Structures are given as structure tokens and as C-alpha cells.
Structure 1
Amino acid sequence: MKAVIFDMDGVIVDSEAFHIKIKMQTLQEYGIEAQAKDCVPYAGRSSKAFFTDFVKKSKKNIAIEEIVARKHTLTTEYIQSGKEIKPVAGAIELIKELYAHKIPLALASSSVRTNIETFLKKFGVYECFSVVLSGAELPESKPNPAIYLQAAEKLGFKPEDCAVIEDAHAGVVAAKRAGNYCIAFNNPFYENCMADLSAADMMVDSLLELSAEQIKQL
């Protein structure tokens, strides 16, 4: 592989649990009840996609832009509250190793750009990425392949020359539809949810299993 494209939530940032908590809090503020298990299938997808489906099912007259904005406000408040948010084990080390080996890196996340930049800067890897894309700025989120096609184009490589690291079903599907080589991180957060990562070309239980040399030889 000539380049690597990272997802963020669940791959770089150990954030899936608090994202679900905030989504549920947002829904409750608008009078929509939901359980954590209802949110899990939307991992890797945009907030717009998530809230569009839940508002539609509730049959409530709620503007999608409004409820999405409220979720982003609550997320920002959570991040700024000082509560500890950790990187996924091995993620930062892998990013820095790939960067040291001069392997071009892109970030392709469904999160809003402000959150992406906040986390990458917090963990000291923002400068490692030559391309940073937010799916929230695209018409459709994963599993639509647009974000991965755009990432490869901006990196200057064919999709098949780029390895994508993903942890969610929607992300794996998006990567394969784009023509990327996909490495699936079997995130323990989804252990009881049976996330379907079977479409990936390779699966690891920890990012500590990966190295720059190994990825170059794929």
C-alpha cells in the first residue's frame, strides 16, 4: 500500500460510548426515547443520517438541522468539560510510525470538522495528516464510498493503492465500495453487538498488531 486512510471514532479516538450517550441525551431532549442498542447500527455514519431516521420514526416535527446542531453542542460541551477521552491503544504510535516512514496519511471521518481537529491536535497527530475530510460536509455519509474516493484522490493515489483502517460496518462497506484495501479493527466496544466486518480484507484485534512495514507490503 502506498497510503493509509484512517477513520477516527473508534479507530483513533475511544469515543463510541460517549457518542452514543450524547445521541441518546439529544433524542430525549426532543422527546424521543432510544436505547444504546438502537444507536449501535449507526456507528461510522453521520449525525444527520442518525437523526433523520429517528425523527422520521417518531413522526415528530423536528428540524434535522436543529437536532443535529444540538448534538454537536452537547459533544463540544462534553469535550470541553475536562472528562478524559483516550486514544485507541496503538493508534497514535501507528500514525507516528507511518508518518516517520513518509507514508501519506488521510483522515476520513463522519464527525464534524471541529471535533476532528480537536482530537487530532489533542493527541499531537494533526500535522501527520496531509488530508483531513469530514463526512458531515458531504451529501451522503458512509456506507456511501464518496469520502474514501475523495480521500484517495486528494492523496494523489488510486483507491486500490490506499489502505483504510475502519471499525464499523458502514465504514468497511464504504471502503470496499471505493475500491480500497480495508483493515478492520475488531473494536471490543462492539463485542456484544456482532458488528459485521466480514467484507474487510484483513482484521486485527488491536492496532498494536500493525506496523508501517507490514502495511507497506500489503
Structure 2
Amino acid sequence: MPLKAVLFDMDGVIVDTEPLHRKAYFKTFNELEISVSEELYTSFTGASTKRVAETLIQKYNLAHSYEDIAAIKRAHFKDYFDNDDEFDLIPGVRELIKHYHENGIKLILASSATMVTINMVFEKFGLEQYFSGKISGAALKESKPHPEVFLLASEMAEEPVTNCMVIEDSTNGILAASRAEIFCAAYRSPHSKNQDYTLADIVVSDYEELELDKLSKYF
């Protein structure tokens, strides 16, 4: 089947907001006066803020609502997003996005991030022109590793799953793509630690490896 649509995760694939989220989360944990281990924090990779907040409320018997926790975290995140000098697109991703766009491939964003965060990223880096659709997993009933976000993205692209490819970097995202039965390229980010790429169809550490001529043996 020919490749007609690429479904991009955002965090760790297009931008690395992970360091910003990390700073914002740990600042939030300090405010909530809870001590979160690295192991627990790693288990949150790819999960929505709502799910993280609900986990914290349960684990630490917090009196806060998940909305309260999400609001605290969001304020810290926005501050880092606007002011952190190190924040930029992942190397090579703008070129890859333009490459697909120029070759008539439909691009859909399918991220666990909120639509507010997605729009902030798209505006800051001028990505709107390349994408024909955006889905926020935060607005869905199920979050990754449930396949819902990618199945909706393939519907939005108006392409069968066999004509789609997912680009992901997290265990949960790769599992979601696998459950959706969509070809999955895993990007091995220097920042995503302890992620499991076993279920990915290909694993790359440089976006040039995902140019169309390199994918011809798969599609």
C-alpha cells in the first residue's frame, strides 16, 4: 500500500517539551509538598496531565482536584515554554515535515498534549501550514496506549490505516500504533529514557532515515 498520511506524535517527536514538562511537574510536586521518584515520573511518559494528576491524588491522598493540579502545572509550563532559551524543534523534523508536505503526504498531529499546548507549539514554530489536522488525546476518553487517537487521525486523513505511518517516541505511543495496526516508526530521542521500541516497525535516530525514498521498501 502506498504511504498517503503520516501521523505525528508531538512530544519528543516534533518538539522536546519533555524538559519543560519535567521542570513544570517537579515545581508542581514541590508546591503540593510531595516527593515523586524518578521511577514514578518515568511511568508518566506519554500520559495526559489528567491521568498524572489522578494518579498523584490517589497515591498521595491529595485534597486537590485534578483541575487544580493541572492548572498549577499548566502555569509553570507556560512560563518555561515562553522563556526557556533551550526550547526548540527537534533537529531535522522541520525538514522532514516539509519533505512530506511537498510530496503530497497528508500530515495529522495525534498527540496526548492539550490542544492549547499543540496550538502554542504550532504558532511558535510556524507549523500550521503543513498539517491538515490536529487531534489532542487529552480531549479523548482513552489515552495512549489505547489506539483511539491514531484511529481517529487516520479517519481525519481519510486514509485506511494501511496507508498511514505513525512517528512516535514513547512505549505507550508505539503500543497505541501497534494496536491500531498502523506502521510505526520509532524515533529514538536522546531524551526519552527507558522506552521500549520492540513493537515499532522501524527505529531511527535521524529523521533523514524517514524520507520517502528510504521508506520505499515498506510502502
- Scaled by the length of structure 2, what TM-score is found? 0.93
Partner of 1:153: 155
Partner of 2:69: 67
User: 2:23 and 2:38 mapped to 1: Cα distance?
Assistant: 8
Q: What 5-or-longer segments of structure 1 have no aligned partner?
A: none
Partner of 1:163: 165
- Tell which deviates more after alignment, 28-37 or 120-129: 28-37
CA deviation string 1:14-55 (max 9, x = no partner): 221221221121122112211344212221121111121122
- Tell which deviates more after alignment, 96-105 or 139-148: 139-148
User: 1:207 and 1:44 mapped to 2: Cα distance?
Assistant: 20
Task: Name the amino acid aligned to 2:42.
Answer: V
Task: Name the amino acid aligned to 1:200.
Answer: A
Partner of 1:211: 211
User: 1:161 and 1:152 mapped to 2: Cα distance?
Assistant: 9
CA deviation string 1:80-126 (max 9, x = no partner): 22534111111111001100001000001111112111212222221
User: 1:217 and 1:102 mapped to 2: Cα distance?
Assistant: 19
SS at match of 2:15: coil
Percent of aligned pairs with the same amino acid: 35
Task: Name the amino acid aligned to 2:150.
Answer: Y
User: 1:46 and 1:116 mapped to 2: Cα distance?
Assistant: 13
Partner of 1:7: 9
Q: What 5-or-longer segments of structure 2 have no aligned partner?
A: none
Matches of residues 178-197 of structure 1 in structure 2 within 5 Å?
Answer: 178-190=180-192, 193-197=193-197
Number of aligned residue pairs: 216
Would the aligned equivalents of 1:2 and 1:216 in 2 still touch at CA under 8 Å? no
User: 2:213 and 2:122 mapped to 1: Cα distance?
Assistant: 23
User: 1:43 and 1:183 mapped to 2: Cα distance?
Assistant: 18
- CA shift at 1:73, angstroms? 1.8
User: 1:70 and 1:112 mapped to 2: Cα distance?
Assistant: 15
Partner of 2:31: 29
- CA shift at 1:59, angstroms? 1.4
Would the aligned equivalents of 2:110 and 2:137 in 1 still touch at CA under 8 Å? yes
- CA shift at 1:209, angstroms? 2.1
Would the aligned equivalents of 1:96 and 1:125 in 2 still touch at CA under 8 Å? no
Would the aligned equivalents of 2:5 and 2:107 in 1 still touch at CA under 8 Å? yes
- Tell which deviates more after alignment, 126-135 or 30-39: 30-39
- CA shift at 1:216, angstroms? 5.6
- CA shift at 1:169, angstroms? 0.4
Which of 135, 138, 142 matches 2:137? 135
Task: Name the amino acid aligned to 1:60.
Answer: L
User: 1:86 and 1:217 mapped to 2: Cα distance?
Assistant: 32
CA deviation string 1:155-187 (max 9, x = no partner): 101122210000000000111111110000111
User: 1:200 and 1:19 mapped to 2: Cα distance?
Assistant: 25
- Scaled by the length of structure 1, what TM-score is found? 0.93
